[in-house]
Structure 1
């Protein structure tokens, strides 16, 4: 039975005496409530600004926008996003990565379309860049540095753009803000001086920092100047989009440019997705008495649709086109296709919000006349309005399941979108709404195969951010309702008015239903019983894992058989994931093993299980090829060191490269050493001799048994595998157990132990003899294990983590023989491959590393959560 299926319902998840556990559970709620409070403050500010503005006037301003202006705004949008691609090109040049222009164009456009519109958590541009650039061959640390470069370049570009606008329009801005123009010019001059100082540093130095370990690489001066020019062009193009949508008025262009920069900056600082509300508030203040506020608000609504939502739809369409193309063999193409659920989740979220907003706003006079002319039954109008709003709530809730590739979420989203699209016509001849929903249905249908997680929708817990965001949407829609019907005299009679012109009662009933259902769902999420306790790993589960491990090409799966880790099986039983729990850290080892098609679902389930228990999830000892599994979940890669393996097909003892090994093997044979592989069924008889060698080795090392990512001397564990042994005469002096599978693709060493008086070169003889034996058996690779902290980038602009790790590797021999271990393995001329920790960013990484160290040090994985 699955680990999660054996949990005891209702068991407590939190230790009342542990403040850290309480804080871990409460922190997301507190941060989300802070964001909700900020949203409420914005709503109050907008209410005051729009006291004299009427909904009908805003819609009239939208309709009155000239078609040529909209076409020009579309062109400016395209030019702005094209300029944004140069950010990525500059960032890749800065980190020294070479990527094709086509890949840069696709990655940048998708990343910015997603982050501009949604912009937080897993729905961010950083996830897109990490996935696609890693697939293009860029190392994850380089991608991380490129992402940081992008953020810094945008900030400096905003500083440059804002300084120019403020310097140019100081007089007009000062008049609107009731300040002195000279004071604003001084601020602009100071901003430009900061930029000039930065450019000067780029020309004089290659890096800045403290000491040799904490340094930041500066871009060459030509790259810095180029990036400032790109930023100015891109921001000017995005500002032009809104400027083209504004009606002619007395707001001067210089003042508009300055306020636009302020509005963008305020939106970013607020951390509200897309800066919604913050950007609009600043621009409405900028309009002052020059541009009518209904016209400004109409232009801002059009700007949201053209610059934000439309690129997201186009980006999703691009990825779907990739999916439709047959024979996608390029790694970037495959990774691009895997990103389509992320963008579809964003579109599903937007569709849900659109439906609820549509439900609380009146339809147009033209729609009313058409409904009356067609004699659409009033019950159908009422029902479509009500059901459409409830469907919108359903789409918002199901968007998380779309993000997590749930099969059931795909079905629910498709059904809700089809129903809402069909009801859009009797609802109020909402043609654009129907077009958007049908587009979503088509995109979902084409991307059907991406939603392969067979899971119960109600088994998923919504994160605090989703629950609070749901509440924020309901509150915002209530604000919109009272704005749209501000002249209505609210009374109890409204609830029972059913007539074609009774739009306020209709919207009020729809919003009440949405609010009650959202409240009920939120309370159910908060109050439903916790997942329970993790049970002990049973011998039956270990046997199930053993059967899967035997058919696995990698020897990694064999570590599940030690018995010191929890096991989580897939619903089909064809795959499993091993993990340990220490403190609040849930650490998966390697990743899923078994059927590769089930891996994404297992990673998501593990992440969700850790979150449900108030924990932080991570994966230790991850191979580079497996990183995309964890990047999808919002984890970040941190290099741990390098793993050594020998390609057995090319191994021999001839030539100068392995002259020392050859002479060592010959010397061992002259001294009477004998190599033998003891089959698994013969290990039991050798256990007393193996125990004696192991005990002597442990006494010499003055340490105890390790755990988690390394084996231990356990009789049941050793009986499962063959053992490579070295005898001196009839006396056993060294051994190593061999992790092998029936596939004969990869084998590895685990325990390596020898007597203190074993002749020098015994372990070299053991390893070389093992390699030759496995080569004769038909294996392709032989793993020698990892060298911690090895292979870290030596470049001065390397990430801080790698610089620290490099210092530990070079100067930490008093704690661990880092360099000696690397040198020992290096003499076998192995292939070195990076290994990573996939973990959340920030301080959580340090806590996870500390907990992993405790697990490896021999602490038993916590069996109760």
Structure 2
């Protein structure tokens, strides 16, 4: 029988291609590039803002914010709501393009939540894409169609913003040219070229259905009507969003069509910068564009209000909507509603982060109300006011760190956030009678209490490892707060003794101390994260762990869980010890074999712990041979599924050798009996008595096939492993000619399968057919429900013309890859038993990770790269 694993030669070539020094350097530098770019862009933005706001003071900005007319606020709110309503057209168009049918209420809810989160957090394709993947999957849309819809959404937004921005540039070319210091004719020429390019794209859609990029990327083009419709949706959306800001600006600053051009340019630069929400980049462009037409403090005040109305308010509304689903949900609730509820932790993490930033900014800015300051001086002791500022700022930084735990549904993060929100909310009174701040924190507290059930993972905050990007983001927030501090107190002369001035009116000194406390807390936590010793090294299990694993394996249904008893894989147990994950490590890949083993209710926590453990060591987590019914748990963890092939099993209650469909198998058994073959089961206590006979058969099989022992997902002839399980033995006239080790959890008696299968070189033809048929009849008599035949790699791939590239590659390998692996032969051998086929998946992060994981899995199975290249 051929060993069942991924094509070794393919994986070897993949590993060789990925091991070039240039690529290794690229992937080593890649995690640092985005943080570095963010820091550089942040520095440039701060410099630009400093130059634009050189003559602006903090008090005038606050006054301008408070002076906006109620009518203008109402109009801004109206156009914000209109913009988010129009944005649903993107989702409707993308679903139409992907050929998916979804109810309108689901589209409205999904679009609003996705854009509310994506606009605020940034990386809209990733954050909004995650929301769409979960919500539309719950509505019954296939993942491949959702992926196409997400891609269409991103492309349509970029194309629409480009086209509409070009129209705006053409309209306001003179004003834009003055801002960019470029000739008017050049601006108009570029705008016309862009408009012609967009028109050419629409024309291309009218006579071509597919576009080939770089000779290999096939992109299905939308129908021309859909393309035009999407351009109109983009125009309406950008017009409404720009109007939401335009009504907040001073009157007669710039006409609306020209302002739309500025707005489109600011939006484009904000998206390109990858700064969350384009914060700072967007403001700098608008300030530069409108500079000289109105006081800069009034423009800055309008931008602050716009951030609150267009970005923060929808995020809060979306969070309230999902939490309200949580409050009234039931087991009979629609799948879409239940999927929406599971998005709550992500939105609460965003709200917590914003609350933390609010606390930090509040700590570095002066109390705006003189009456409030006088009341504090009369009613509050000075030390309480000082402590409130220090604790509030440190609580703000702490919220930025615990927000990551909320994303991962940690109960410790929930408790920490709740305590911090209540503490900071109470301290908002002595801090400066900050009613708005206290209200925001009270609002967060209510949301946390209502959504308590979503944070069920009992894990310590101290086991978390923060990514470099997260630490850089916190550093950027601290830098922004430092800039706000110096902006707010630019008229205060700095002297050393300011650090030690304690008085009710010493706002600058108090703000400096609050920022320093927050910075020191962040530095201490960041250094601890960077330099702490990673825990949990890869070690083989000891005898006590193997005994614990054996007890779990005996009491669960999956037969391949017996592979944990090989002792070559590490074991990650649940807190109760009733479940575990078996895994190996190759390179940077941490690969779990199949799904978790044990009690299903403990699996989600185990999966998260495994992913976090791999991430703590700078690795990538993957699950090899995952079953279809477990995929939602992995998708919830942000992983992607790639089909490996199909696993075959025979339903034992219906199995027999009677009937025309089993004629060949029945004749094979009869022929084997005539040739002197006999079958017996050697129970575990009796295996030592036949061990040397088994070894002789195994050595002969290895010599004939010039093969070496495999590992990880396949058994090896190891004495301790062989002695842990029963063995099926075939003799010919009393001499052992074939055997198979049996994986058969005996408590539930659901599934049984074979692992190590070997036969002597002179065994009669059809010996393995004889062995399998006898095994199935034997275990049918014992009451087992199914007999596993193992996996057929690359089989069962989708044959549709729009199938993903992975499936097309799998089909080609199955049809033409016989020189690498006996794909069709293995499938044909198993088909003779008339089995049921069930898909098996490789679950990994996206991008190039699947290629690395495939190569590393093949190395684990083959015992290293040498084992992959050789047999």
Question: Do the structures match in fold with TM over 0.5?
Answer: yes
**What residue number does 1:203 align with?**
206
Q: TM-score, normalised by structure 2?
A: 0.90
8 Å contact kept, 2:132–2:146: yes
Decide whether the 8 Å contact of 2:646 with 2:795 is kept in 1: yes
Counterpart CA distance in 2 for 1:293 and 1:782 is: 76
Does 1:844 pair with 2:849?
A: yes
Q: Offset of 1:318 from its aligned partner?
A: 2.5
Partner of residue 706 from structure 2, selected from 702, 708, 711: 702
Q: Contact conserved, 2:559 with 2:753, CA < 8 A, in 1?
A: yes
Partner of 1:515 in structure 2? Answer: 519
Equivalent position of 2:613 in the other structure: 609
Q: In 2, are the aligned partners of 1:668 and 1:765 still within 8 Å (CA)?
A: yes
1:321–1:486 CA distance, 2 compared to 1 (3 A) = same
Identify the match of residue 172 of structure 1 among 172, 175, 189.
175
Classify 1:787/1:295 alpha carbon distance in 2 versus 1 (closer, same or farther; 3 Å).
Answer: farther
Q: Measure, in 2, the Cα distance between the counterparts of 1:537 and 1:239.
A: 61
Q: Which residue of the other structure, out of 47, 58, 69, is the alignment partner of 2:61?
A: 58
Establish whether residue 86 from structure 1 lines up as the match of residue 56 from structure 2: no
Q: Is 1:808–2:813 an aligned residue pair?
A: yes
Over 3 Å counting, the alpha-carbon distance change for 1:736 and 1:398 in structure 2 is: same
Q: Does structure 2 retain, via aligned residues, the 8 Å contact 1:166–1:185?
A: yes
1:333 and 1:732 map into 2 onto residues whose CA distance is 61
Distance 1:105 1:680 in 2: 61
- Are the structure 2 counterparts of residues 671 and 536 from structure 1 closer, same or farther at C-alpha, using a change threshold of 3 Å? closer
SS at match of 1:752: strand
**Aligned mate of 2:132, from 124, 129, 140:** 129
State which of 362, 369, 372 in structure 2 corresponds to 1:368. Answer: 372
Secondary structure of the structure 2 residue equivalent to 1:301: helix
> How has the CA–CA distance of structure 1 residues 185 and 30 changed in structure 2, closer, same or farther, with 3 Å as cutoff?
closer
Return the match for 1:413 from 403, 417, 422.
417
Deviation at 1:367, TM superposition (A): 5.3
- Show the counterpart of 1:399: 403
SS in 2 for 1:38: helix
Per-residue CA distance 1:785-839 (angstroms, 9 max, x = gap):
2222223333444333333333323221101112222333344443333322222
Match of 1:73 in 2: 76
Give the CA deviation at 1:290: 1.7
Comparing 698-707 with 756-765, greater Cα deviation is found at 756-765
Q: Determine helix, strand or coil for the equivalent of 2:598.
A: coil
Per the TM alignment, residue 389 of structure 1 is displaced from its structure 2 partner at its CA by: 1.0
Q: Higher mean Cα deviation, 844-853 or 472-481?
A: 844-853
Q: Give 1:708 shift.
A: 1.1
Shift of 1:44: 1.0
Residue pair 1:771, 1:782 contacting (<8 A) in 2 also: yes
CA contact (8 A) 1:317 1:443 kept: yes
Q: 1:121 to 1:621 in 2, by over 3 A?
A: farther
Aligned length: 845
Deviations 1:323-373 (A, max 9, x none): 223433554444433332222222211111110011111222265367359
Query: Does the C-alpha gap of structure 1 residues 744 and 133 become closer, same or farther in structure 2, counting only changes over 3 Å?
Result: farther
SS in 1 for 2:803: coil
Match for residue 440 of structure 2 among 436, 442, 454:
436
Is this contact kept in 2: 1:371–1:426, CA < 8 A? Answer: no
Mapped partners of 1:140, 1:508: distance in 2: 51
Aligned match of 1:320: 323
Q: 1:382 aligns with which of 386, 395, 398?
A: 386
1:314-713 mapped onto 2 (5 Å cutoff): 314-329=317-332, 330-365=334-369, 368=372, 371=375, 375-531=379-535, 533-648=537-652, 651=655, 661=665, 664=668, 673-713=677-717
Distance 1:210 1:794 in 2: 23
3-state SS of 1:792 partner: coil
* 1:36 correspondence with 2:39: yes
Task: Determine if the alignment matches structure 1 residue 785 to structure 2 residue 790.
Answer: yes
Counterparts of 1:763 and 1:68, CA distance in 2:
84
Match of 1:9 in 2: none
Query: Any idea what SS the aligned residue of 1:245 has?
Result: coil
Q: Give unmatched runs, 5+ long, in structure 1.
A: 1-17
Cα 1:108/1:817, change in 2 over 3 Å: farther
Change (3 A) 1:855 1:142: farther
CA offsets per residue over residues 73-92 of structure 1, 9 Å max, x none? Answer: 33333333333333333333
Cross-structure match for 1:822: 827
SS in 2 for 1:51: coil
Q: CA RMSD in A?
A: 3.1
Does the Cα contact within 8 Å between 1:345 and 1:400 map onto a contact in 2? yes
Alpha-carbon distance in 1 for matches of 2:140, 2:657: 33
Tell me how far 1:652 sits from its aligned partner.
Answer: 5.5
Corresponding residue SS for 2:330? coil
Looking at structure 1, the residues matched to 772 and 214 of structure 2 have their Cα atoms a distance apart, in angstroms, of 42
Aligned-pair CA distance for 1:391:
1.0
Q: After the TM superposition, which of the residue ranges 411-420 and 157-166 deviates more from structure 2?
A: 157-166
Partner deviation per Cα, 1:707-749 (whole Å, 9 max, x = no partner) = 1112222333233334344455544444333322222233333
Change (3 A) 1:649 1:296: farther
Q: Do residues 747 (structure 1) and 752 (structure 2) align?
A: yes
- Structure 1 pair 590/491, CA: closer, same or farther in 2 (3 Å)? same
Q: Does residue 247 of structure 2 align to residue 262 of structure 1?
A: no
Pick closer, same or farther for the CA change 1:704–1:481 going to 2, 3 Å. Answer: same
| 1:765–1:152 distance in 2 versus 1, CA, 3 Å | farther
Give the distance between the partners of 2:200 and 2:665, measured in 1 at CA: 58
SS in 1 for 2:247: helix
**Deviation for aligned residue 1:670:** 6.2
Measured against aligned partners, the alpha-carbon deviations of 1:590-641 in whole angstroms (never above 9, x if no partner) come to 2432233333333333233223333232222222333333334433322222
The residue aligned with 1:275 is: 278
- Higher mean alpha-carbon deviation, 501-510 vs 474-483, is at 501-510
CA distance in 2, matches of 1:337, 1:685: 59
The CA deviation at 1:664 is: 5.0
Cα distance per residue 1:358-413 (max 9 Å; x no partner): 11112222653673596344333222222111111111121122222222222111
| Secondary structure at the counterpart of residue 238 of structure 1 | helix
- Contact persistence 2:113–2:131 (CA under 8 A): yes
**TM superposition shift of 1:860:** 10
CA distance in structure 2 between the partners assigned to 1:92 and 1:721 by the alignment = 52
Distance 2:499 2:506 in 1: 10
Cα separation, partners in 2 of 1:530 and 1:720, compared to 1, 3 Å = closer
Contact 2:92 2:107 in 1 (8 A): yes
CA deviation after TM superposition for structure 1 residue 855, in Å: 0.7
* More displaced 10-residue stretch of structure 1: 473-482 or 759-768: 759-768
Match of 1:47 in 2: 50
- Is residue 2:226 matched to residue 1:227? no
1:242-321 to 2 correspondences below 5 Å: 242-321=245-324
Q: Report deviation, 1:65.
A: 2.1
Q: C-alpha separation between the residues in 2 aligned to 1:737 and 1:133?
A: 45
More divergent stretch after superposition (511-520 vs 28-37): 28-37
Deviations, residues 667-692 of structure 1 (Å, cap 9, x unaligned): 65666655544433443333333333
Shift in CA distance, 474/711, structure 1 to aligned 2, threshold 3 Å:
same
On the 8 A contact 1:114/1:123 being kept in 2, the answer is no
Cα distance change on mapping 1:424 and 1:850 into 2, 3 Å: same
**Does the aligned pair in 2 maintain the 1:348–1:399 contact within 8 Å?**
yes
Q: Shift in Å at residue 760 of structure 1?
A: 4.3
CA contact (8 A) 2:596 2:603 kept: yes
Distance 1:250 1:72, change over 3 A: closer
